[in-house]
Amino acid sequence: MVSALMSQIHRPRRSIDPCSLAWIDFWSSELPADTAVFLHELLQGAQARAKQLCYQIDVHRIGGTHLSPRRLQTILRARMQWGLVIPPVPDSHRDLELEIDDLSCVTIGTSLRSPVLHSVSTDYFQGGQIAFNRAIAQGSQNVGLLLSPSANARNNGKWLAAFLERQQALTPESPIPALLANPNETERVTNWLCRYQPDTVLVAEPTLAEISRDAICSPAQFIWLQHGPFAQDDAGLDHQPRLLGAAAVDLVVEQIHRNERGAPRIPQSRLLASRWVESLPATTRVSHLPRDRTWAESSTLSQLG
């Protein structure tokens, strides 16, 4: 009987379920191209998986509008969309005044602080370990970590924790302190590079990487903690956003089938491993992804998942 019950989780939509899942996008139209690409890939993966389960996804773009949480909830109730997927949110929306008592919700990533929901996320700590191990395997002796405070906070310091753990285990004799610097702190980044002379720098943000490339004491190579269209010929970690989007749909549909709504008593987080890639094909190196155009019109970026 338990096996029969569990099999229902992966079956198509029941007649009592909502016809559509709501995808709530809090980003404005003016956002970095690498972020736009990642969000688009998340949505593509979610839409493909939802279609397999006989659902569709309605995208609600909240960023840049004056739509209040109360008004949003009225819209969701009117459309019978009580299955909710929230992709990564900008810093200004990390704490949402959203009543979820009658909603089945899942968030992607670790950027949303409240309300506390079930989540699907990249395993950032494991990814940080993989990146450091690869740097050592390639012959690096001085590995540095360069992140903004915002990026560090958004994944709860997991990249930094992995860096410090690997540093203690593999290079305890010559540790380079990690640098948390904002993109406008050019002089601070340059001084750090010149003082410690890292031969490999673990990075995640194009702005900080560009500062490092232009510095006199530029490192020999980068390893990207989040590989994307700006990585050029550098190796790094592909977070496989299409798989993350699909996993988020699976998790919210499971709640719908169990008729679970509201804040979870014990929030669960599903961690997906990143995939190591040596470099991206030339067709993936885009400079801008308009959010009001279709994927086929906007870019030739290949599927990473």
* 49-55 long-range contacts, CB within 8 A, separation 24+: 49/245, 49/246, 49/249, 49/250, 50/21, 50/249, 53/12, 53/13, 53/249, 53/253, 54/12, 54/13, 55/13, 55/17, 55/18, 55/19, 55/20, 55/21, 55/83, 55/249, 55/253
Whether residue 257 contacts residue 53, with contact meaning beta carbons closer than 8 Å, is answered with no
Q: Do domains 2-123+240-274+288-298 and 124-238 have the same CATH topology?
A: yes
Domain-wise residue ranges, the chain: 2-123+240-274+288-298, 124-238
Over residues 192-233, the pLDDT tens digits come to 999 999 999 999 999 999 998 888 787 778 999 998 777 767
Per-residue pLDDT of the chain (305 residues; tens, 9 = 90+): 776 666 566 556 555 556 789 999 988 877 777 788 899 999 999 999 999 998 999 998 887 777 777 788 788 887 877 889 999 999 888 998 888 888 899 999 999 999 999 999 999 999 999 999 999 999 998 999 999 999 999 999 999 999 999 999 998 887 899 999 999 999 999 999 999 999 999 999 999 999 988 887 877 789 999 987 777 678 999 999 999 999 999 999 999 988 899 889 999 999 999 999 986 544 444 433 444 433 222 322 223 33
Record the tokens describing residue 122, joined without a space. 């990249």
One-letter identity of residue 13: R
Over residues 80-98, the pLDDT tens digits come to 778 899 999 998 889 988 8
One-letter identity of residue 224: W
Record the tokens describing residue 68, joined without a space. 């209040």
3-class DSSP state for residue 10? helix
Spelled out in words, what is the top-level CATH class assigned to the domain 2-123+240-274+288-298? alpha beta
Q: What is the CATH number of domain 124-238?
A: 3.40.50.2300
pTM, to two decimals: 0.81
